[in-house]
Amino acid sequence: MKIGVPKEIKNHEYRVGMTPAGVRELCASGHHVFVERLAGAGIGLSDEDYRKAGAEILPDAEAVFAAADMIVKVKEPQPQECQLLRAEQILFTYLHLAPDPKQAKLLMESGAVAIAYETVTDANGRLPLLAPMSEVAGRMAVQVGAYCLEKAQGGAGILLAGVPGVAAGKVAVLGGGVVGLNSARMAAGLGADVTILDKSLPRLAEIDALYGPRIKTLYATTEAIEKAVFDADLVIGAVLVPGANAPKLVSRAMLKQMRPGSVLVDVAIDQGGCFETSHPTTHADPTYVVDGIVHYCVANMPGGVARSSTYALTNATLPFVKQLADLGWRGALASNPHLRAGLNVVDGHIAHPSVASALGETLFEIHQLF
């Protein structure tokens, strides 16, 4: 199969869809990989690195899209990239379509087969291609939250770790999944006073067994969320409903009862955000203030540590890329139900139940394909 890796064009997005090591694996299996010129330059991967791995370097995105049977990316295609897609071409990347009807419409019109990293599952119902970036985003959330708490950044001037004789900052983490647990671990490692809230009692029991009193656990009732948010210096939104819009857990009215200079970090912003006052921001302009509360809502947080993120992502995606290349999309989806769960758009229709529901589209029944 001919596989294309274009350069990412989203604001401050330096990740790349595949490392040279990934290219080498695919070429060794008899596939042909096209990489756009300077696609990996932002993280120190040269065109020569890709050539040595077996890739052919093409001058621009137009050439890559035209040459490839499958496009492997990191972030959702921008409108100009959607225009380059064609019928039956495979697009394998993060899509996050539920809050993005414009992108969904463009993908449907393209006729491409769009498979989303974030809805691919594993045997335990987890999301293996979302997990590595969730780990990165969860750990970053505490870093950026601590920075935003500095007075010069609009925060209250609080050091999360505290110092002898001064109380540590308080962190509330909404959601005990991969993002939430990594956030809580980082915050506890700094010495912050950490509370994690989730609706799964087994998950809370697991966290308690692992971390004991270092991380407090609360069942996520409306009252518990309100009390934790009002008492926190830093609130991290880490909830996820696969393929669907994130639930709004913090209303604008609640901001008025938070301490001025507190910080909200909305890691769920790719799925619409879990704070009512959230809207996507960029690494170039990451924060804004509503009612005295600092909001950090960067939609591609792991892009801030692009080199680490690229290697972590390729480690996870490569087996699925290889399966799609070896068997074609129909063969791969027929043989692997977990990869099949990643199918979001096919034949001009939405094929994932949660995405179709969020967008108000008629669901395409996947069984019609096989």
Catalytic residues: 96, 270
Tokens of 40: 């990996």
End-to-end CA distance of the chain: 21
Q: What's the gap between Cα 30 and its chain centre?
A: 31
Pair 5, 39: CB distance under 8 Å: yes
One DSSP character per residue, 123-192 reads: TTS--TTTHHHHHHHHHHHHHHHHHHTSGGGTS----TT-BTTBPPPEEEEE--SHHHHHHHHHHHHHT-
CA distances (Å), origin 161, targets 24, 169, 171, 172, 234: 44, 6, 11, 14, 12
- Asked whether the CA dihedral 328, 330, 331, 334 is positive or negative, the reply is positive
Residue type, 287: T
